[in-house]
Chain A
Amino acid sequence: MSQIETFYEVMRRQGITRRSFMKYCSLTASALGLGPAFVPKIAHAMETKPRTPVIWVNGLECTCCSESFIRGAHPLAKDVVLSMISLDYSHVLMAAAGHAAEAALEEAIEKYKGNYILAVEGNPPLNEDGMFCIVGGKPFVEQLRHVAAGAKAIISWGACASYGCVQAASPNPTRATPVHKVITDKPIIKVPGCPPIAEVMTGVITYMLTFDRLPELDRQGRPAMFYGQRIHDKCYRRPHFDAGQFVEAWDDDNARKGYCLYKMGCKGPTTYNACSTVGWNEGTSFPIQSGHGCIGCSEDGFWDQGGFYNRLTNIKQFGVEANADQVGMAAAGVVGGAVAVHAAVSALKRAQKKTQDKVEG
């Protein structure tokens, strides 16, 4: 496109005042965990950077990622779609269908070759010549390869695109395959979770638009800013874990007191995500806060790690918690041994799933 407007121009054209624009920048800064010093930088970026076209395709999935995306509060989904990106193809939201939809896709690919972000929700199945997921009469995997070819970068939304998720759970009858196993020549940002948190999704997009770079990724290709810590590391129930205070049965007194859910199968100690920091739905709660253990939905292969109510036992190295052991043991002594905290912490020492050790290829 010869002349692509900047964010700021667009926002002004859409009747947004300078004052509102600055407020928006400061909300964006806090959404990204950045201090007030970054507000002018964001504002400057928005004033000078062009809007980026986004093409969003869907394979085998359940649409929870799109649903999560529209839950975004800061920024609001409507602001993302109207003012920040140009969502040139989205099977879920777009007005056009059939040939008109395909024409819109082709036009966007042609016009923005090398400059658009490809957002993938779901994954391609490879069995049955790919025909377990058909788009426009052809296998979805063809559409994926076609759109990926001209993309600047790819975002793998959610557990499906990142790791395969539920349809790839054993025995993976369709051979549902994560995006990075099919597209190997493009930068891919994995944003796992089933679904990912809304503000993590919009945060990843906003970060790229604001700083004009990909976020720093961990060994598995996830943005470190959101996936750098285990849920357990920042869980508000962590003191109960350290003190050896556990829920022993659903709805027991300990559950009502908000004790640690480790014994109920909580996968927080091996799950890297921002649930215990950013929270869900504008920080309203997160699974542990609402009384159910974490099921580990942002981890590779979480469907096949034993039942959701089985206590973690396969953790190999617990790393940073060297002194949690001592704290826990001391507390157990105080409590009087009613709680098998030693076993718990030992298990956690062995903990950390194998996926954490493996570097994604």
Chain B
Amino acid sequence: MTITTPNGFTLDTAGQRIVVDPVTRIEGHMRCEVNVDDQGIIRNAVSTGTMWRGLEVILKGRDPRDAWAFTERICGVCTGTHALTSVRAVEDALGITIPDNANSIRNIMQLNLQIHDHIVHFYHLHALDWVNPVNALRADPKATSELQQMVSPNHPLSSPGYFRDVQNRLKAFVESGQLGIFKNGYWDNPAYLLPPEADLMATTHYLEALDLQKEIVKVHTVFGGKNPHPNWLVGGVPCPINVHSTGAVGAINIERLNLVSSIIDKCIEFNNNVYIPDVIAIGGFYKNWLYGGGLSGKSVLAYGDIPENANDFSPEQLHLPRGAIINGNMNEVLDVDVRDPEQIQEFVDHSWYEYGEPGRGLHPWDGETKPKYELGPNAKGSRTNIIEIDEAAKYSWIKAPRWKGHAMEVGPLARYVVGYAKGHEDIRNQVDGLLGTMGLPVSALFSTLGRTAARALESEYCGRLQKHFFDKLVANIKNGDESTANVAKWDPSTWPKEAKGVGMTEAPRGALGHWVKIKDGRIENYQCVVPTTWNGSPRDAAGNIGAFEASLMNTKVERPEEPVEILRTLHSFDPCLACSTHVMSPEGQELANVKVR
């Protein structure tokens, strides 16, 4: 049976069904099913979120000043971004402003997360979709060294001996027969296109990036005490500044600033010398594999982030752009108002929840959720042993958020498409530069590779911004301002009886919003709409498919039993399933009435 979705995809369920569960190298639990025709082309795609934790239910009745810690535990990979979104939502509700230094420090932490997350994603979650470490054994270390020096003349680790050592280590590992994390990879699959030297170079950088990422996060450790899950504070940041006087140990002093500064430099260096050159080098071998565009050339959404000045979230003051593009009209970037009940709505017609009436959408402030785990009549298997999903019925723990009725893609590529369309100078320069180097047209952006490239460019941009805010912090301290927290409204007795607020960030994976209602000093309702809810959303009542599903359409799978291409495209979104699954309450329990008016 063939159907065409309102957002322009023709689905055909006739061909062979391929199931990938678990989808690995992601955060959380996810399942994917596709139908391929006799040419191996994907004609139908189904993405299912397979976990739910109930954080928002748990938040009800708690102290809003504690919410950051709960929501931070939504995700340990994009650690901190939910916490930042949460303190922003609470500050918005209670009318709390933060000092300039707190804005700089929060930006540095958020940017640091972007860089860390993008690097770990590319090298440790995504690279094995493009890079074949087994093939690296066939590389000539000398030629690898030459390749390294050609693609990145300034990277110090480039001698033939260096690559030979890594290759020997890899060889011994493979020959031991205990392949560990590389076991059962699809290493003979023709979808891998790199020559052995590029494989060896990239595998070596997998290890270098593993060493580096533990350094990057020390910025969080300085300001937030630990990573993963640093500490945050409603009203500012918890770390005081004391650069001149006694007792400076434990406050931000010159030694701490120097540590942060040195890490910022390391991030910039790695982006310039390793990450960007690798994406260009690897991308060059795959530049004819331009599948995976999905919604990216049609409908993208970004809330924007990284405010230049404290407490000013107007779009022109944000370094990461805000806006929405629909129906592929790049000439018009639409304003986004996250408070407008008509703009962002969540639907549950194909999610394991119910609203009572079909086809209904709810704005997050008025979010309502009741569980309804059931498989459709055409599902194969049983309730606790799913063989095949029935996507005509409910099929995911993820809700379906829509912007003015449209399924939207969010994430680095969405930000870059919005930024490019808006004429954001840094973004334009980066994108034009990269496409020029690779000899690709702008349309090449709308692809799996484009998503991966946008993430790398963003890491580079965030590296420069991190330095900008560090300099700004130091300049402000030099001017005599050491303030890091505003405690005027710390005491709940200063709060209004009822309040509601919204916090937004651009998480590494895309637009993230928290909506909070506070009553009598306690959380009355809390809703998160997170990037993977947008990207991983199931269908809505009208039949629009979400970004994951759209991106898989029409991709050729070389060997259906080895779904490298599916993984490649899904990974390009950096799925985060613990984030994406939504609030709900088990039937029959008192919290079934998480309903707000």
Which A positions have Cβ atoms within 8 angstroms of B?
5, 10, 13-16, 51, 53, 58, 60-68, 70-73, 76-78, 81-82, 85-88, 90-104, 107, 125, 127-140, 142, 165-167, 169-174, 176, 194-195, 198, 236-237, 249-251, 255-259, 275, 280-282, 284-292, 295, 297, 303, 307-309
Chain A CB within 10 A, most for which of B27, B55, B228: B228
Residues of chain A lying within 8 A (CB to CB) of residue B385: 137-138
Residues of chain A lying within 8 A (CB to CB) of residue B238: 250, 290-292
In the assembled complex, the CB of B248 is this many whole angstroms from the nearest CB of chain A, namely 8
Chain A CB within 10 A, most for which of B55, B181, B231, B233: B181
Do the beta carbons of A60 and B235 come within 8 Å of each other?
no
Do the beta carbons of B217 and A281 come within 8 Å of each other?
yes
One of A64, A77, A285 near B221 (C-beta < 8 A): A285
In the assembled complex, the CB of A107 is this many whole angstroms from the nearest CB of chain B, namely 8
* Given contact pairs A97-B567, A137-B381, A171 touches B589 in the complex (Cβ within 8 A): yes
Residues of chain A lying within 8 A (CB to CB) of residue B334: none
Nearest chain A residue, comparing its CB with the CB of B68: A308
* Given contact pairs A131-B373, A133-B51, A94 touches B25 in the complex (Cβ within 8 A): yes
Do the beta carbons of B210 and A63 come within 8 Å of each other?
no
Interface residues of B in 231-266 (CB under 8 A from A): 231, 233, 235-242, 245-251, 259
Residues of chain B lying within 8 A (CB to CB) of residue A62: 27, 73-77, 578
One of A142, A173, A256 near B54 (C-beta < 8 A): A173
Chain B CB within 10 A, most for which of A64, A93, A98, A275: A98
Q: Mind listing 10 A-B residue pairs with CB under 8 Å?
A: A71-B228, A92-B27, A137-B381, A140-B29, A251-B484, A275-B226, A281-B218, A285-B226, A291-B225, A308-B66
Any A CB within 8 A of the CB of B482: yes
Do the beta carbons of A131 and B240 come within 8 Å of each other?
no
Nearest chain A residue, comparing its CB with the CB of B386: A137
Chain B CB within 10 A, most for which of A61, A68, A256: A256
One of B214, B235, B490 near A77 (C-beta < 8 A): B214
Do the beta carbons of B578 and A61 come within 8 Å of each other?
yes
- A-B pairs, top 10 by smallest CB distance, nearest first, are A64-B76, A257-B247, A258-B250, A287-B225, A95-B185, A290-B225, A292-B238, A292-B231, A134-B50, A137-B386
Residues of chain B lying within 8 A (CB to CB) of residue A64: 73, 76-77, 79, 228-229
Any A CB within 8 A of the CB of B285: no
* Given contact pairs A128-B371, A129-B384, A307-B63, A291 touches B176 in the complex (Cβ within 8 A): no
Nearest chain B residue, comparing its CB with the CB of A15: B168
Q: How far is the CA of A100 from the CA of B373 in the complex (A)?
A: 28
Residues of chain B lying within 8 A (CB to CB) of residue A81: 180-181
Which B positions have Cβ atoms within 8 angstroms of A?
19-29, 31, 50-55, 57-58, 62-63, 65-66, 69-70, 73-77, 79, 120, 124-125, 128, 165, 168-169, 172-173, 175-176, 178, 180-186, 207, 210-211, 213-214, 217-218, 220-231, 233, 235-242, 245-251, 259, 371, 373, 381, 383-387, 397, 482-485, 487, 490, 561-563, 567, 578, 584-586, 589-591
Do the beta carbons of B214 and A67 come within 8 Å of each other?
no
Do the beta carbons of B239 and A135 come within 8 Å of each other?
no
Q: How far is the CA of A95 from the CA of B132 in the complex (A)?
A: 10
Do the beta carbons of B381 and A256 come within 8 Å of each other?
no
Chain B CB within 10 A, most for which of A71, A136, A137: A137
In the assembled complex, the CB of B568 is this many whole angstroms from the nearest CB of chain A, namely 11
Q: How far is the CA of A49 from the CA of B317 in the complex (A)?
A: 60
Residues of chain A lying within 8 A (CB to CB) of residue B76: 61-68, 195
Residues of chain B lying within 8 A (CB to CB) of residue A63: 27-28, 75-77, 578
In the assembled complex, the CB of A113 is this many whole angstroms from the nearest CB of chain B, namely 16
Do the beta carbons of A256 and B226 come within 8 Å of each other?
no
In the assembled complex, the CB of B261 is this many whole angstroms from the nearest CB of chain A, namely 14
Q: How far is the CA of A173 from the CA of B584 in the complex (A)?
A: 8
Q: How far is the CA of A130 from the CA of B25 in the complex (A)?
A: 23
Residues of chain A lying within 8 A (CB to CB) of residue B63: 307-309
Given contacts A137-B387, A285-B225, 8 further A-B contacts (CB under 8 A): A16-B169, A66-B76, A71-B214, A71-B228, A100-B562, A135-B29, A250-B233, A289-B250
In the assembled complex, the CB of A218 is this many whole angstroms from the nearest CB of chain B, namely 22
Q: How far is the CA of A257 from the CA of B186 in the complex (A)?
A: 57
One of B22, B53, B224, B230 near A97 (C-beta < 8 A): B22
Q: How far is the CA of A280 from the CA of B221 in the complex (A)?
A: 7
Do the beta carbons of A96 and B24 come within 8 Å of each other?
yes
Do the beta carbons of A134 and B245 come within 8 Å of each other?
no
Do the beta carbons of B589 and A173 come within 8 Å of each other?
yes
One of B75, B217, B229, B240 near A194 (C-beta < 8 A): B229
Do the beta carbons of A98 and B23 come within 8 Å of each other?
yes
In the assembled complex, the CB of B238 is this many whole angstroms from the nearest CB of chain A, namely 4
Do the beta carbons of B54 and A100 come within 8 Å of each other?
no
Q: How far is the CA of A55 from the CA of B222 in the complex (A)?
A: 33
Q: How far is the CA of A13 from the CA of B165 in the complex (A)?
A: 11
* Given contact pairs A82-B173, A95-B128, A291 touches B55 in the complex (Cβ within 8 A): no
In the assembled complex, the CB of A200 is this many whole angstroms from the nearest CB of chain B, namely 12
* Given contact pairs A258-B250, A292-B233, A93 touches B211 in the complex (Cβ within 8 A): no
Do the beta carbons of B73 and A165 come within 8 Å of each other?
yes
Do the beta carbons of A256 and B245 come within 8 Å of each other?
yes
Residues of chain A lying within 8 A (CB to CB) of residue B120: 70
Q: How far is the CA of A66 from the CA of B26 in the complex (A)?
A: 11
Nearest chain B residue, comparing its CB with the CB of A53: B178
Q: How far is the CA of A71 from the CA of B230 in the complex (A)?
A: 14
Do the beta carbons of B19 and A72 come within 8 Å of each other?
no
Residues of chain B lying within 8 A (CB to CB) of residue A284: 218, 221-222, 259
Q: How far is the CA of A136 from the CA of B233 in the complex (A)?
A: 39
* Given contact pairs A62-B76, A78-B207, A166-B73, A87 touches B180 in the complex (Cβ within 8 A): yes
Q: How far is the CA of A53 from the CA of B183 in the complex (A)?
A: 13
Residues of chain B lying within 8 A (CB to CB) of residue A288: 225, 250
Do the beta carbons of B52 and A132 come within 8 Å of each other?
yes
Do the beta carbons of B384 and A138 come within 8 Å of each other?
yes
One of B53, B483, B561 near A60 (C-beta < 8 A): B53
Residues of chain A lying within 8 A (CB to CB) of residue B237: 291
Do the beta carbons of B228 and A68 come within 8 Å of each other?
yes
Do the beta carbons of A256 and B487 come within 8 Å of each other?
no
Residues of chain A lying within 8 A (CB to CB) of residue B207: 78
Do the beta carbons of B184 and A101 come within 8 Å of each other?
yes
Do the beta carbons of B24 and A97 come within 8 Å of each other?
yes
In the assembled complex, the CB of B129 is this many whole angstroms from the nearest CB of chain A, namely 9
Nearest chain A residue, comparing its CB with the CB of B49: A134
Do the beta carbons of B586 and A15 come within 8 Å of each other?
no
Residues of chain B lying within 8 A (CB to CB) of residue A15: 165, 168-169, 172
Q: How far is the CA of A13 from the CA of B172 in the complex (A)?
A: 6
Do the beta carbons of A137 and B21 come within 8 Å of each other?
yes
Residues of chain B lying within 8 A (CB to CB) of residue A290: 221-226, 230-231, 238-239, 250
One of A70, A133, A251 near B210 (C-beta < 8 A): A70
Residues of chain B lying within 8 A (CB to CB) of residue A93: 25, 124, 181
One of A171, A249, A275, A281 near B487 (C-beta < 8 A): A249
One of B62, B225, B490 near A292 (C-beta < 8 A): B225
In the assembled complex, the CB of B202 is this many whole angstroms from the nearest CB of chain A, namely 13
